[in-house]
Structure 1
Amino acid sequence: MLPAPTVESLTTCDATETEPVRIGILAPLTGPTAADASDYSRAAGIAAEELNAAGGVCGKGKRYKFELVEADATSMRNDAVVTAFRRLNDTENLNVILSPYASTSNFEIDLMARENMPYLISGGAESTKAIIQKNPSAYPTVWSRVPDYGGYFTDLPPLLNQYLESGKLSLPAKTVYIIGSDDPYGSTIANGLAKVFRETGWDVVGEDTVPFQSVTDWRTQLAKIREVDPAVIVNTEWSASGSATFFNQFFEQPTKSLVFLQYAPSIPEFQTVTRNQAAGVMYSMLGGAIDSREDTKTISAKFAEKFGPGGYFSVAGYNAVQLYALCLSQGNDPTDRLAVGTCIGKLDVDTPSGRLAFDAETHLARQGNDYMPTLFYQLQSDGKPAIVAPEAVSQAPFATSPWMK
């Protein structure tokens, strides 16, 4: 495993000639997920500025200075994604595209492969896997910085069982109510959790599916929840506005339930809309930055100083630029798309999210405590999240939510 790249390691050389290189950012920069995705582009901008200020990334006999070119996927509609991709692909000196996510299905992967465009994506791993595993060799330039979603559903039920056995968590029964959203991310996690909860001794007392980004009134689902009074509530509709509205309406008449909301609480918008009342809410992330690491703290502080508190992508976007720079520093010509894409796929490197290496059959980052662990967070009394598991990287102990007491 290579050490985590730094500005110093990427820019220390004797070369003086510089060459401009453009980096495409494909993301929904307007629309319901804009607050989340914009963090990625802003963080990537910080990384590029730092590398440029240090003279540029060292390459084969020259240095490369970066310019970011954004393309808006708006509400992740297919036509908008295609238009944005074509714009980037036709931009002079642009031979790599970085993305938090661009569509709900990741169909754009096929566009990237057709053009041999290096594409490093940080969302929609299940969709990436479904496309690539049919013929991995057809996608030599497409790689997912996040792991298989399996950890999202295999790791939560055992963790709760562990908390119950150790006395950290007290519940009247092992019952769970699961709400999933109808996009690939939300539905995959909800269905997987229902299966694993049952396999590990839990009773799933309710299952609902809602349209992604569309629910503004959760009282129908909450009426069902209050009727069965589950010990645990899971909601995988991961938009910040939808998830925050769910919590606020739950909090009007809360059941004594542990609340687990997939991903959304990591977005500062969620914390603002819930007015710091969601202390105790849990969520998990795969490929998320390990906040207890010193490099994560440094990157997060830089982002906060310039833009205010950031979410998941405030570190992921920064690191994505560093990973691309690392491949250029190894002597790859930025115009040789296939060589750069191949380099990314062969990386084995330390990152703020843990050890990054890719699975050859799915092109996803490898998952697990020796690679990228499933990180479990709990919102604290100040509204900010803290890692509570795995214990080796935890920042705070697990605590019972106030409404459960």
Structure 2
Amino acid sequence: MTWNVGSRAWVKRAVAPLALTIGLATIAAAHAEDTVKIGILAQVTGSSSADAQESIRGAQMAIDEANAAGGIAGHKFELVVGDVKNGDAGDVTSAAERLLGDDDVHFMLTGYASLTNFEIDMMAEAGMPYMLAATSTQTREIIAPNPDKYWCCWSLTPSFDAYGTDVTVLAENLAKAGKIKLKNHKVAIISSDNAYSKTISEAMKVKFKAAGWTITVDEMVPFGEVNDWRTILTKVRQDPPDVVINADYLPNNSATFLKQFQEQPTDSLVFLQYAPSVPEFIKLTGEGSTGVVYDLLGGVINSPKNPRAIDLSEKFKKLYGVDSGTYGIGLYEMVSIYFDALKKSGGDPTNHEAVAKAIGATDKVAAEGRIQFDPKTHLSVQGDDNVPLLFFQIWKGDRVLIQPDKFSTGEFQLPPWMSK
């Protein structure tokens, strides 16, 4: 038997006024006129508020489009927001419980709520369809031991394994192509003490060491606002490496790091994790961001070879007056996947298990690539033919997609602070 959260409450609302006379046709009409709530968890008042605002806008854009077209399977939709603040466990739990306690909420999603994704267990216990685009290493650790238990929950982001391995590959391939010089095969790796950054930076260390590189600086800063990176940068300059990496994903921190690096730059390729993808980053750094490299898994493929991404990006900017980073278009696509699943599963939003299983059976070309889900992990499938790892370089305010070649919009250029 399928357990449908809120179905009894909905039936009561629908049939109580005409309990003695209502027929099947009237029930269907009432069903067609209802409003289904979609709950979104976001760090609205936290340090990642820029991502939160973008996420909410993307989800709202998809809902507004569906409602304007007459709805989905006879239903109209409303977005309700749960503010998880900085993603602390208590705040995430409080926001999730509030949304789960609303009988009209039948789907929930997030860019990221907590960085450990513990709320997946809350969704499983409540039987709530849930999509996220958060730290996939943690998602996999929760779901992979018992995928059937987590029929509810699916990740738009694929495995993060490539984050830890492919920066090394990029640097070595750029050297082979004669685009940079590797003088010493040394790397400085700086990170922030949070699940996302730490997981990625630790994997990077393993890969660089295995490839014969020397790690000259290995620093971990407390998670939160960092205004002064100069002590760490002094260590970087004492033994200038070929590559400098900062895995702190907060745009303000990353922008400050770059500015202070450029006070006395080393002849190094600078790679910053995630932060440059946020539109706010270029506003903070201006021309100083030219030359910086970053990558994205689950990023928007703004390439002529993916017209859907270009179309959605243009719609987002026209509607909100700003560019979308990863999460605006990402959350739009997640809502779209839910709408597709709702139609394919019979159109009943209260049949949570049927809807969630239809999400898991998704096979569609989205702004991030071809979305299919691995049944063993519930992550989207990673690879150049599915969701590729995208490498970008910022050049004079533009984000140039430099890899993979099948989607590239330009070539890597030597950063202004590096020698030929």
How far, CA to CA, are the matches of 2:310 and 2:260 in structure 1? 33
Q: Which runs of 5+ in 1 are unaligned?
A: 1-14
The residue aligned with 1:294 is 307
Residue 51 (str. 1) matches residue 66 (str. 2) = yes
How far, CA to CA, are the matches of 2:88 and 2:203 in structure 1? 26
How far, CA to CA, are the matches of 2:48 and 2:284 in structure 1? 15
Asked if the contact 2:115–2:134 (Cα under 8 Å) also holds between the matched residues in 1, the reply is: no
**1:253-299: CA deviation from partner (whole Å, max 9, x where unpaired):** 11111100000000111111112311110111101111112111111
How many pairs align? 386
What TM-score does the superposition give when structure 1 sets the normalisation length?
0.92
The residue aligned with 2:364 is 349
Q: Which of residues 282, 287, 295 is equivalent to 1:284?
A: 295
How far, CA to CA, are the matches of 2:324 and 2:59 in structure 1? 13
Asked if the contact 1:158–1:200 (Cα under 8 Å) also holds between the matched residues in 2, the reply is: no
Computed over aligned residues only, the root mean square deviation of the Cα atoms, in angstroms, reads: 1.4
The residue aligned with 1:385 is 399
What TM-score does the superposition give when structure 2 sets the normalisation length?
0.89
**1:90-149: CA deviation from partner (whole Å, max 9, x where unpaired):** 223211101000012111111110001111001111111111122222111011110111
Deviation at 1:200, TM superposition (A): 2.3
Residue 305 (str. 1) matches residue 318 (str. 2) = yes
**1:13-70: CA deviation from partner (whole Å, max 9, x where unpaired):** xx9944321111111111110101210110111111111111112x2xxx22111111
Partner SS for 1:155: helix
Deviation at 1:171, TM superposition (A): 3.1
How far, CA to CA, are the matches of 2:287 and 2:319 in structure 1? 23
Q: Which of residues 325, 338, 345 is equivalent to 2:339?
A: 325
Return the structure number with greater relative CO, CA threshold 8 A, min gap 6: 1
Q: Which runs of 5+ in 2 are unaligned?
A: 1-27
Asked if the contact 1:18–1:56 (Cα under 8 Å) also holds between the matched residues in 2, the reply is: no
Asked if the contact 1:126–1:184 (Cα under 8 Å) also holds between the matched residues in 2, the reply is: no
Residue 132 (str. 1) matches residue 143 (str. 2) = yes
Partner SS for 1:379: strand
Residue 387 of structure 1 aligns to which amino acid in structure 2? L
Deviation at 1:332, TM superposition (A): 4.1
Deviation at 1:306, TM superposition (A): 2.5
How far, CA to CA, are the matches of 1:80 and 1:193 in structure 2? 31
Asked if the contact 1:283–1:378 (Cα under 8 Å) also holds between the matched residues in 2, the reply is: yes
How far, CA to CA, are the matches of 1:159 and 1:231 in structure 2? 12
Deviation at 1:79, TM superposition (A): 1.1
Bigger Rg, structure 1 or 2: 2
The residue aligned with 1:97 is 108
How far, CA to CA, are the matches of 1:355 and 1:302 in structure 2? 21
Deviation at 1:310, TM superposition (A): 2.1
Runs of 4+ in 1 over 6 A off after TM superposition: none
The residue aligned with 2:24 is none
Partner SS for 1:41: helix
How far, CA to CA, are the matches of 2:369 and 2:285 in structure 1? 30
Residue 156 (str. 1) matches residue 171 (str. 2) = no
Partner SS for 1:85: helix
Aligned pairs for 1:60-99 within 5 A? 63-99=74-110
Once the two structures are overlaid, the 10-residue window that deviates more, 164-173 or 72-81, is: 164-173
The residue aligned with 1:144 is 155
Percent identity of equivalent pairs: 40
How far, CA to CA, are the matches of 1:364 and 1:26 in structure 2? 19
Deviation at 1:395, TM superposition (A): 0.9
